[in-house]
Amino acid sequence: MSQVIGKPINRVDGRDKVTGKAKYAAEFQVPGLAYGYVVSGTIAKGKITRIDTSEALSLDGVLQVFTHENRPRLAWFDISYKDQDAPPGSPFRPLQDATIKYSGQPIALVVAETFEVARYAASLIRVEYKEEPHETSLEANLHRARPQKHGVADLLKPPPPKPKGDFNTVYEESPVKMYGRYSHAAEHHNPMELFASTVVYEKGGKKPKLTIYDKTQGVTNSILYVSQVFDIPFKNIRVLSPYMGGGFGSGLRPQYQLFMAVMASLELKRSVRVTLTRQQMFTFGHRPATVQNVAISASADGAMNALYHDARGETSRFEDYTEIVTNWGGMLYPPENVTQDYKLVPLDVYTPLDMRAPGGVTGISALEIAVDELAYELGMDPLELRLKNYTDLDHNSQKPFSSKELRACFQQGAERFGWSKRQFEPRSMRKGHNLIGWGMATGIWEANQMPARAEAALLVNGKLWVSSATADIGTGTYTIMTQIAADALGVPMEDVLFKLGDSDFPVAPISGGSWTAATVGMAVHSACEAVGKSLLELAKKLAGSPFKGAKWEDIEFADRQLRLKREPTTAVSLQTLVDLNGGKAVRETSTGLPNALKQKDYARATHSAAFVEVMVDEDLGTVKVTRAVSAIAAGRILNPKTARSQILGGMVWGISKALHEESILDHNVGRFMNHNLAEYHVSVNADIHDLDVIFVEENDTIVNPLGIKGVGEIGIVAMPAAVANAIFHATGKRVRDLPITLDRLI
Amino acid sequence: MYYIISRRTIPSLFVPFAKIIEQPQAHLVLEVHLLWTVMTLSAEAPPKATHTPSLPPTHTVTLTVNGTETQLQLAPWTSLLDALREYMDLTGTKKGCDHGQCGACTVLVDGKRINACLTLAIMQEGKQITTIEGIAQTCTDAPDGLHPIQKAFIDYDAFQCGYCTPGQICSAVGLLNEGKAKTTADIRELMSGNICRCGAYTNIVQAIEEVINQQTV
Ligand code: FES
Ligand code: FES
């Protein structure tokens, strides 16, 4: 029975966050701390021929300058540098040698007594290069596209399924068809918090002891990396990340400030902090620029019969970053003749990195604009076309969905938005000199669960301590895990202390892919159940115990009590039970595992429908998203308040992607030029107007017993296409390249 | 010496300029910003001339933060933001860009909101500086030790990761002090110097509206 799951409860970490008490990676005070400042390379490809650090070193307060010439000897093999999210290839190693692989590559670290001195000293380092020709343009290198290299990454990011049917013939012969070429720019995550690592150094036996506060979406990933690269046993390292100022994927891999801070700390035998600058936040992973082609045909009644979707994404020269871009059409629509294709173009850039709904928002933006185009070819309402082609089957795997309430999303979203009042013709709705446009799109994202571990302990004071080495990157993990634990053992939330972000806790995977709620939720649930079972055993030992013959199914937990289901007045308080445990807490660690047997016959996904209104100034071409409704089918919603925030955030990201976000490469120098928050535009408050979120009811016992599907990414997926479709409806101009900036619209 | 303008400095000047120009020490702040831009740039493209580098001496600076006076020994170019975070352990004030482009470092100086990264500590002697750690003390009615804005932020879930939050809250209190925001559109516009990458804008606006409504009741 559920007391708090499903209730719109305020964040348990809210008070810490509004009072400034929540501490992020760069904010832990350590006596004798030294400050590192990274020097970034200025060419895109070539070699460092000379690096002169003498002036910097002569400055008072400078402790050391590390470059490829004097760095310590480190692990030899690529495998040591592979983190949990490393794609196939050879991971980038900071300060490895004189080779420059991309613009902005870290080439030195200055360490000084103060931040001010380190930053100034960094400006005194002279570097000479021998430049080599570089290639950074995806468009100019499309002819080099090749299939992805295969590796373990295929498990989570499978290549497109084999073609089925005969796309060419059917498409040619169809009465109605569309074709479009779509592209979008590279984007950078830009979480508000700058990447930082604070390494606290302590002398140990043979090896020193390091306590590392790191900005990461997974402390386990960081400890693994540090241990392997620097050859320090796990027991000498502890990585902590109690709060993270936004991730969106950027913290799925250890970033180079971690390497730099640990290296400097070990060499100088001192505590060191390295914080990157906003400019340097553009010198590691990004959402790869992509070029896509989509062609769809249908019979005259709107039934889709053939679908083609290809994508060319950029990657680096050293790793094959892949994402699922083109598989979505086969999951959403039922045509019999389908070809989906995905290839990579290696360029002289850093390896791209998962960014909120990686691949999903990329591919679906193109696909869902294409479906809108087909609707206009047919002269059919875009929502009606989607209903016409509705399917409960994933046509890639030929498996039914474990649950799919997308139809309810369409109905409830359309009703809230007022879709039925829409006039079909573009440029047919206006307000003064503003053109009004209404557009919609469908979204889909995977509902995954990973294995994870958690510990639960009913303490002697009756409080429930629960922990797992997961992360709360703003997603609400602290709050929803507290809710799950509270309900599992029938205690109020204030009795629960849930802790995360500590590598000493039971292991959990990196927090991404919208899987944390299900993954850690099941681990927490299972650890609490294990404690519950031990409590039942203790209850049986009570003198004249009424629970003697009771089985697990016969009891329940509520009001801080263990009681009989059929006779709730027969109860014993949890405090009494823990008192029987010889002065010790009742402690259990347990693993939450996905039930592969149950899942294997089903496709599992979340769905959404986004409805957007834009207002386009007819003279100036400025676009405002005045209203948007997202209807979401994402299984059981643990906390409608925090889940709604997740969706709102995704919607803001979708608007931002559709209208603003673009990391602009100057191919002459091979560098992202707008590497700051004034020129890399993200949506600000004035860009965001009325946003509305609907969670439709969706019950699913196949994904996991708690019915959780995750909400981190589904909010963004449908939005960019819905915005683009609304702009078409307003203006009659079809823009297929994102972001839709003024120059593309006029 | 500050007016070295390159292709990259020009656009990055526009946004902070609009925000700081209203302030009395605008020209000084602008110079600091230029100086910083030049320093950042020079970190990327080292000067050709050889000289023996040396550092100017540190100064004793007295800052009044949240009602408490503190003496610090600071470099003349230490920003107020770094003074708070690195020398006073007041890490509630956040650094998101160090260039006046994000608002994460917003604090109140004599009741007005400013970007702490765009001002030098040494320029703020004798002023009343309020950070998130002291914001609740600035109002007489702070149940639970929270400013009404802080409480409304919790109730409306006006944040996710929380990193922009102290800046949003200080900015919102500054907005209330200014008394200029009459409509929802005003709030959106006047809060646009504070980026929230998590996208909590609609909730932030609701939280602020709630407090404005309480005040006018
Ligand atoms: S840190 Fe001051 S505005 Fe960004
Ligand atoms: S709450 Fe994360 S940036 Fe605003």
| Tens of pLDDT, residues A328-368 | 999 999 999 999 999 999 999 999 999 999 999 999 999 99
Q: Which residues of A are catalytic?
A: 713
Judge whether residue A187 has pLDDT over 70: yes
What is the tens place of the pLDDT at every residue in A457-483?
Answer: 999 999 999 999 999 999 999 999 999
| pLDDT at position B33 | 47
Smallest CA-to-CA distance from A284 within A91, A81, A152 is with A91
Domain map (residue ranges) of chain B: 12-42, 59-216
The shortest C-alpha distance from A214 to chain B (Å) reads 15
Q: Which helix (H) or strand (E) holds A62?
A: strand A62-66
| pLDDT at position B32 | 46
Judge whether residue B35 has pLDDT over 90: no
Contact criterion met (CB < 8 Å) for B192 and A686: yes
Average pLDDT over residues A290-305: 98
Average pLDDT over residues A481-508: 97
Contact criterion met (CB < 8 Å) for B43 and A248: no
| pLDDT at position B52 | 72
CB contacts, 8 Å: A58 with chain B: 52-53
| pLDDT at position B217 | 61
What is the tens place of the pLDDT at every residue in A372-403?
Answer: 999 999 999 999 999 999 999 999 999 999 99
- B105 CB near ligand 1 (under 6 Å): yes
Both tokens assigned to A451: 């294995």
Average pLDDT over residues A30-44: 97
pTM of whole model > 0.90?
yes
More confident: A493 or A1:
A493
Sign of CA dihedral A665, A666, A668, A671: negative
Backbone angles phi, psi at A126, to 5 degrees: -105, 135
Domain A25-133+191-277 adopts which CATH fold?
Aldehyde Oxidoreductase; domain 3 (3.90.1170)
A178 in helix, strand or coil? strand
Judge whether residue B46 has pLDDT over 70: no
Both tokens assigned to A220: 């386990």
- Of ligand 2's atoms, which has the minimum distance to the CA of residue A192? 3
Both tokens assigned to A287: 């959402």
Least confident of A23-37, A234-248, B40-54: B40-54
| pLDDT at position B107 | 98
Looking at the domain that runs over B59-216, which CATH code has it been given? 3.10.20.30
What is the tens place of the pLDDT at every residue in B62-112?
Answer: 999 999 999 999 999 999 999 999 999 999 999 999 999 999 999 999 999
Burial A707-727 (b: 16+ CB within 10 A, else e): bbbbbbbbbbbbbbbbbbbbb
| pLDDT at position B139 | 87
| pLDDT at position B50 | 55
Judge whether residue B2 has pLDDT over 70: no
Judge whether residue A1 has pLDDT over 60: no
Q: Enumerate the CATH 3.30.365.10 domain ranges in chain A, comma separated.
A: 140-188+286-448+600-744, 450-593
Looking at the domain that runs over A450-593, which CATH code has it been given? 3.30.365.10
- Of ligand 1's atoms, which has the minimum distance to the CA of residue B101? 3
| pLDDT at position A284 | 96
CB atoms near residue A700 (< 10 Å): 23
Judge whether residue B3 has pLDDT over 90: no
The CA distance from A307 to A168, in Å, is 9
| pLDDT at position B10 | 36
Which pLDDT band holds residue B31 (cuts at 50, 70, 90)?
very low
Point out which residues pair with A196 in neighbouring strands. A275
* Mean pLDDT value across chain A: 96
Query: Is B191's Cβ below 8 Å from some Cβ in A?
Result: yes
| pLDDT at position B51 | 62
H-assigned helices in A25-147: 54-58, 78-81, 115-122
More confident: B144 or B160:
B160
Judge whether residue A5 has pLDDT over 80: yes
Mutate which of A243, A673, A677, A681 to disrupt the B interface (most B C-beta within 10 Å)? A677
- Where would I find the beta strands (DSSP E) of chain B? 59-65, 68-74, 106-109, 112-115, 128-130
Contact criterion met (CB < 8 Å) for A677 and B99: yes
Smallest CA-to-CA distance from A450 within A513, A530, A527 is with A513
Query: Contact, A741 vs A659, CB < 8 A?
Result: yes
Which pLDDT band holds residue B42 (cuts at 50, 70, 90)?
very low
More confident: B42 or A270:
A270
Contact criterion met (CB < 8 Å) for B133 and A59: no
Which pLDDT band holds residue A221 (cuts at 50, 70, 90)?
very high
In the Cβ-directed half-sphere of A711, how many Cα atoms lie within 13 Å? 32
Q: Enumerate the CATH 3.90.1170.50 domain ranges in chain A, comma separated.
A: 25-133+191-277
The CA distance from A434 to B133, in Å, is 45
Query: Is B59's Cβ below 8 Å from some Cβ in A?
Result: no
Of these ranges, A26-30, A149-153, A618-622, the one predicted with the greatest mean pLDDT is: A26-30
- B80 CB near ligand 1 (under 6 Å): no
From 3.40.50.2000, 1.10.287.3510, 3.20.20.105, 3.30.365.10, which CATH number describes the A140-188+286-448+600-744 domain?
3.30.365.10
| pLDDT at position A152 | 74
- B146 CB near ligand 1 (under 6 Å): no
Which pLDDT band holds residue B143 (cuts at 50, 70, 90)?
confident
The shortest C-alpha distance from A246 to chain B (Å) reads 5
- B195 CB near ligand 1 (under 6 Å): no
